[in-house]
């Protein structure tokens, strides 16, 4: 029998003002031995921030001038997926579970209770692509996952009352990502879900929505029957140590700004956007860096980069470099042929 415990974060408001603390929670629940079973928790941002995926290029995904002027905090999570703008109008939910061979990256499984609740409230919610929840073709939730050892986190945001104008200005995804979805801008592809609820639920308080989701996750009628663990001060101190060590450094958040000759990007259905920045001298690749919003957060992208450096910029040579780069483990279901075309096709070039 699978045992699920709800972790109550209400004692941590003083800590949760720092987005790096929120990004450290999954790592804490995955790695701390006191949490052996399935964990479920909510969080709600106390301030506006942009959170980028572990493998993304901040400089191509985020409007850094805008977020600086508007005092929007930038952070990076250890999980894959794409960049998101979050503010107090977001509700984030997450599971931490043990990998049984079928549930890791099974976004549909972990989104299911949320989808059922939102549909009961009147929204015609669908799961589209690999990890998006949409209503009437517009995205209101994105999901991501992080795996450490045999445990992983899987969760997503729910846009209820988000400042859509700020989200539109703060995020600057590559045009290839928008084109693959048949849309023109961030603003045109995202929406708040609240407006799609039945009239009786359009003013539903966030705490009421959380209660409905909790009852659905735990399949119970009374909240008092939910097995609950309340975070202690000692817990928060441990989370803070993780944040300080891993999630707050400038190198982690910003990454290194790349000044390569080329920056090619393409969206692959079921995988996500793959971006390769590279430089060429005398027909030989002299530098390469792989980015993307794919959810294979634990892949060794350096292995791919190492194989590319020193490789002639020819189809046969690139095919061989990608063939021995363990693409399925490091990125996902993308082929050597597809990435060779990504590098060689100048139509994939973006302004970095």
Domain boundary residue, one of 234, 254, 274 = 254
Instruction: Name residues whose C-beta falls within 8 Å of residue 262's C-beta, 6 or more positions apart in sequence.
Output: 277, 278, 279, 280, 349
Task: Name the domain count of the chain.
Answer: 2
Domain boundary residue, one of 226, 254, 282 = 254
| Cα separations in angstroms, 315 against 147, 205, 285, 304, 344 | 34, 56, 13, 16, 8
Domain boundary residue, one of 209, 237, 254 = 254
Looking at the fold, whether 239 and 308 belong to one and the same domain comes out as no
Among 158, 39, 156, smallest CA distance to 91 is for 158
Residue 188: predicted pLDDT: 45
On whether the CB atoms of residues 92 and 85 are closer than 8 A, the answer is no
On whether the CB atoms of residues 108 and 169 are closer than 8 A, the answer is no
Looking at the fold, whether 97 and 220 belong to one and the same domain comes out as yes
CA-atom Rg of the chain in angstroms: 21
What average pLDDT values come out for the chain (352 residues) when binned by 10 residues? 86 89 92 94 92 90 94 89 90 95 92 97 92 92 89 94 93 57 50 96 96 96 95 96 87 87 91 93 95 83 96 96 95 95 89 52
CATH number for 310: 3.30.390.50
């Amino acid at each position: 029998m699978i045992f699920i415990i709800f972790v109550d974060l209400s004692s941590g408001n003083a800590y949760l003002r720092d987005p790096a603390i929120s990004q450290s929670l999954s790592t804490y629940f995955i790695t701390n031995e006191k949490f052996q079973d399935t964990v479920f928790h909510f969080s709600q941002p106390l301030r506006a921030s942009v959170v980028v995926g572990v493998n993304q290029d901040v400089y191509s995904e985020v409007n850094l001038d805008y977020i600086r002027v508007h005092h929007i905090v930038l952070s990076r999570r250890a999980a894959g997926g794409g960049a998101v703008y979050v503010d107090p109008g977001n509700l984030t939910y997450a599971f931490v579970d043990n990998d049984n061979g079928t549930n890791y990256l099974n976004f549909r499984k972990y989104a299911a209770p949320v989808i059922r609740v939102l549909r009961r409230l009147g929204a015609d919610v669908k799961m589209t692509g690999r990890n998006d929840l949409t209503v009437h073709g517009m995205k209101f939730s994105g999901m991501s996952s992080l795996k450490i050892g045999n445990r992983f986190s899987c969760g997503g945001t729910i846009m209820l009352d988000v400042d859509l104008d700020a989200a539109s200005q703060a995020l600057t995804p590559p045009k290839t990502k928008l084109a693959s979805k048949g849309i023109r801008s961030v603003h045109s592809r995202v929406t708040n879900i609240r407006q799609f609820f039945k009239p009786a639920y359009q003013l539903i308080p966030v705490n009421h929505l959380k209660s409905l989701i909790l009852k659905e996750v735990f399949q119970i009628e009374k909240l008092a029957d939910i097995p609950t663990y309340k975070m202690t001060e000692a817990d928060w101190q441990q989370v803070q140590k993780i944040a300080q060590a891993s999630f707050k450094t400038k190198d982690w958040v910003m990454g290194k700004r790349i000044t390569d000759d080329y920056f090619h990007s393409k969206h692959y259905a079921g995988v996500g956007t793959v971006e390769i920045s590279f430089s060429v001298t005398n027909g030989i690749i002299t530098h390469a860096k792989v980015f993307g919003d794919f959810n294979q957060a634990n892949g060794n992208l350096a292995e791919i980069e190492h194989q590319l450096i020193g490789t002639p910029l020819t189809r046969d040579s690139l095919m061989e470099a990608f063939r021995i780069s363990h693409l399925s483990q490091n990125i996902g279901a993308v082929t050597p042929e597809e990435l060779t075309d990504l590098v060689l096709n100048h139509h994939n070039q973006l302004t970095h």
